[in-house]
């Protein structure tokens, strides 16, 4: 049976038997770096194409269909075009911050990749505070956006960056509370343990109504945190031209664009891990036969299937819902999502203490 | 009651959002509803009244119905049409005004249809052709009456 764990174990033992342990560690780091950069490049191409295709089909259109079969090479062609364009730095800009911002946003995205389990035993770093690490590091991306907005020396960029700051600071709360409500059930912050605790069913089903409510709140909050429509206040092309990346061009713009999609992938991977069991196949209680059949599907397919399902859901939101104004956005968070998620957390704590979950 | 209003707000908001998602989800899973037409391979069926460009129909004997009255030139709001007239000698010795050249500047035309409505003899009409791209701007200045054409008998 195909398994990524077998491949990594094989590579690991081969490296350590043929090299000194220091060299082997360096080589392993290099392999991990190459793999994550490769994953980023592929995800950027695939998700942008997926977004355009999903958007087109929801608006009764066809989407890209000229470059390559069914338009599959469209995003590759777009990337080539962006590579060839000049990465202009405006005269009035703060040169260091302006050029640093796209890299900061990419580095943040790469850091969050560390604790995510892509398949059974296929994880870069299984640290014991995995979920906390993700929520802490993901807040750094707002600094990159503020850097870009401030360094551009442009009122639109500045407004977009400030809005993004207000938005991410607000929605971090309800995203954190909905994550905590799952942590209450598992009693652990470690990603591998959270996945292991869902061996007899996913938390979305095991945690009754409070889990469903926190799942919905999590989806809303991460949509806002990744600055996507209907919460695209930072970009707001109808009001602020392109928000914080108005002044960026060429590959520097492409990095911001890529980081948006990478962030969507990562938050959806976290959502899939917490609520839908990560790489864990669909198991139902004590149905041994059913569970055994589900185990035949490789765990990587389960993980990517769930993640892409959540990504599709977020794209569905984007192409259906009307955009919010900035005051409506903050109203929604502080008057609705935060009280509801606090109450929900209380309910979840009661469920966990009384042992009402399965 | 505040709490009642609050719950009603959340409920109606979620309900309306779900209604929207049901609609877009239905479009997503029914590709037969896609209305995009693949342009260069399949051309759209244009409406009868579509205005592409002004043309002057000629019949089999290379005759048109334009008397050179310049009503269209006067009706045109942007000076798209310029009519150059000449004086023909009739067989019976009478002199008669006729058109020499009907100049039509396609690049200035807004397809407002006023010239066609002004024409007393229905000599010009709107065509369905909309692919006007050319490499040289001069090619957009057209002469509508064909070479050697003359006015149809009986049209005054």
A337-351, B23-37, B98-112: least confidently modelled range: B23-37
B90 band by pLDDT with thresholds 50, 70 and 90: confident
* B11 found inside a domain: yes
Q: Which of B7, B28, B31, B32 to mutate to test binding with chain A, by most A CBs within 10 Å of its CB? A: B28
Look up tokens 């779900």; give the residue.
B18
Q: Please report which confidence band the pLDDT of residue A1 belongs to, taking 50, 70 and 90 as the band edges.
A: low
Q: How far is B118 from chain A (nearest CA, A)?
A: 41
- Statement to judge: residues B90 and B57 lie in one domain: yes
Under DSSP, the state recorded for B48 is T
Residue B38 lies in a domain: no
Domain of B6 in residue numbering reads as 2-33
What would the DSSP string read from start to end of B53-108?
A: EEE----TTSEE------HHHHH-TT--EEEEEEEEEPTTS-EEEEEEEEEEEGGG
Two tokens, residue A176: 């954190």
At B135, the pLDDT band (50, 70, 90 cuts) reads very high
Query: Which DSSP state fits A322?
Result: P
Q: For residues B86 and B145, state if they share a domain.
A: yes
pLDDT value of residue A2: 65
Q: How far apart are CA B94 and CA B75, in angstroms?
A: 29
Gap between the Cα atoms of A306 and A310, Å rounded: 6
CB A305 within 8 A of CB A143: no
Which residues are registered as beta bridge partners of B105? B141
User: B111 and B68, same structural domain?
Assistant: yes
Residue B47 located in a structural domain: no
Do residues B114 and B144 share a domain?
A: yes
Chain A positions in Cβ-Cβ contact with residue B10 (cut-off 8 Å): 336, 340
Half-sphere exposure of A104 (CA within 13 A, CB side): 18
What are A326's two structure tokens? Answer: 């900035």
Q: Is residue B93 part of a domain?
A: yes
- Among the listed residues A1, A3, A51, A2, the one whose alpha carbon sits nearest the alpha carbon of residue A319: A51
Q: What is the mean pLDDT of residues A183-212?
A: 82
- CB B17 to CB A320 under 8 A? yes
Do A336 and B10 lie within an 8 Å CB cutoff?
Answer: yes
The answer to whether residue A5 scores a pLDDT higher than 80 is no
How close A217 comes to chain B (CA, Å)?
12
> What does the pLDDT read at residue A106?
87
**Higher model confidence: residue A207 or residue A301?**
A301
ipTM for the predicted complex comes to 0.71
The arithmetic mean of pLDDT across residues A31-55, rounded, is: 88
Assess A309–B contact: CB distance below 8 Å, yes or no. no
Is A320 close to B33, i.e. CB distance below 8 A?
no
The pair of structure tokens assigned to A99 is: 């050029």
Helix (H) / strand (E) element for A117: namely strand A117-119
pLDDT of residue B66: 85
Parallel, antiparallel or unpaired: strands B63-64 and B150-151: parallel
Q: Would you say residue B32 has pLDDT above 60?
A: yes
Same domain as B59, residue B24: no
Is A334 an interface residue toward B (CB < 8 Å)?
Answer: no
Residues B68 and B109 in one domain: yes
- The span from the CA of A193 to the CA of A272, in Å, is 14
pTM of the model: 0.80
Q: Which of residues 28-67 of A touch B (CB under 8 A)?
A: 54, 57-62
Domain assignment present for residue B100? The answer is yes
Dist. CA A350–CA A56, nearest whole Å? 45
Q: Pick from B6, B24, B27, B40 the residue to mutate for testing the A interface (most A CBs within 10 Å).
A: B24
Residues B85 and B146 in one domain: yes
- Partners of B143 in the beta sheet? B103
Per-residue pLDDT, averaged over A283-302, amounts to: 76
My answer on whether B90 and B139 are in the same domain is yes
Which DSSP letter does residue B152 get? P
Number of domains in chain B: 2
pLDDT of A19 higher than 60: yes
Q: How far is CA A217 from the centre of its chain?
A: 15
What span, in angstroms and rounded, lies between the C-alpha atoms of A66 and A48? Answer: 16
Q: What is the CATH number of the domain that holds B125?
A: 3.30.70.3270
The conformation of residue A323, written as its DSSP 8-state character, comes to P
- Nearest by CB to A60, from B17, B21, B34: name it: B34
Q: Are residues B18 and B80 part of one domain?
A: no
Residue B138 domain flag: yes
- If 0-12 CB within 10 Å is exposed, 13-18 middle and 19+ buried, where does residue A22 land? exposed
- Can you tell me the mean pLDDT for A107-120? 84
Same domain, B18 and B68: no
Q: Domain check: are B88 and B28 in the same one?
A: no
Distance CA A29, CA A35 (A): 10
Question: Is B156 a member of any domain?
Answer: no
Least confident of A92-101, A282-291, A331-340: A282-291
Residues from chain B that touch A57, judged by Cβ atoms under 8 A, are 27-28, 31, 34
- Omega cis (within 30) before A230: yes
Cα within 13 Å of Cα(A90), Cβ side:
18
Give A300 or A307, the one with higher predicted confidence: A307
Q: CB distance B27–A59 less than 8 Å?
A: yes
Q: In terms of domains, do B80 and B145 share one?
A: yes
Tell me, yes or no, whether B117 lies in a domain: yes
């Amino acid at each position: 049976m195909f398994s990524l764990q077998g491949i990594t174990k094989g590579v690991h033992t081969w490296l350590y038997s043929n090299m000194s342990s220091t060299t082997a560690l360096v080589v392993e780091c290099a392999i991990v770096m190459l793999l994550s950069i490769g994953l980023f490049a592929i995800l950027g191409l695939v998700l942008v194409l997926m977004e355009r295709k999903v958007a087109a089909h929801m608006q009764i259109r066809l989407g890209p269909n000229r470059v390559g079969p069914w338009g599959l090479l469209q995003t590759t062609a777009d990337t080539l075009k962006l590579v060839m364009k000049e990465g202009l730095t405006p005269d009035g800009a703060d040169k260091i911050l302006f050029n640093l911002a796209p890299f900061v946003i990419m580095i943040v995205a790469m850091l969050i990749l560390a604790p995510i389990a892509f398949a059974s035993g296929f994880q870069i770093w299984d640290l014991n505070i995995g979920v906390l690490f993700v929520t802490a590091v993901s807040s750094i991306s707002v600094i990159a956006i503020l850097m870009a907005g401030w360094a551009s020396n442009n009122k639109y960029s500045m407004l977009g960056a400030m809005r993004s700051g207000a938005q991410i600071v607000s929605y971090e709360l309800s995203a954190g509370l909905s994550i905590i409500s799952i942590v209450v059930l598992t009693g652990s912050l470690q990603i591998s343990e959270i996945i292991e605790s869902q061996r007899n069913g996913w938390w979305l089903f095991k945690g009754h109504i409070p889990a469903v409510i926190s799942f919905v709140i999590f989806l809303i909050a991460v949509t806002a945190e990744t600055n996507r429509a209907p919460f695209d206040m930072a970009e707001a092309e109808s009001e602020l031209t392109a928000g914080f990346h108005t002044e960026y061009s060429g590959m520097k713009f492409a990095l911001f664009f890529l980081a948006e999609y990478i962030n969507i992938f990562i938050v959806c991977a976290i959502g899939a891990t917490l609520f839908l069991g990560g790489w864990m196949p669909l198991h139902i209680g004590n149905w041994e036969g059913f569970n055994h059949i589900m185990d035949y599907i490789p765990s990587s397919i389960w993980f990517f299937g769930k993640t892409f399902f959540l990504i599709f859901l977020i794209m569905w939101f984007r192409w259906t819902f009307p955009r919010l104004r900035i005051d409506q956005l903050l109203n929604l968070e502080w008057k609705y999502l935060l009280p509801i998620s606090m109450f929900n957390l209380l309910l979840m704590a009661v469920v966990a203490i009384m042992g009402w979950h399965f | 009651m505040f709490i009642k209003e609050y719950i009603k707000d959340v409920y109606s908001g979620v309900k309306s959002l779900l209604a929207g998602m049901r609609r877009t989800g239905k479009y997503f899973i029914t590709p037969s509803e896609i209305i995009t037409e693949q342009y260069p391979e399949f051309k759209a069926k244009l409406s009868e009244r579509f205005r592409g460009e002004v043309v002057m129909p000629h019949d089999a004997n290379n005759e048109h119905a334009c008397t050179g009255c310049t009503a269209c030139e006067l009706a045109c709001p942007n000076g798209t049409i310029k009519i150059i007239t000449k004086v023909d000698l009739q067989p019976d010795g009478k002199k008669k005004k006729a058109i020499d050249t009907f100049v039509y500047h396609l690049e200035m035309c807004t397809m407002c249809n006023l010239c066609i409505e002004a024409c007393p003899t229905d000599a010009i009409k709107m065509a369905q052709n909309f692919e006007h791209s050319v490499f040289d701007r001069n090619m957009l200045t057209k002469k509508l009456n064909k070479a050697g054409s003359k006015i149809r008998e009986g049209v005054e």
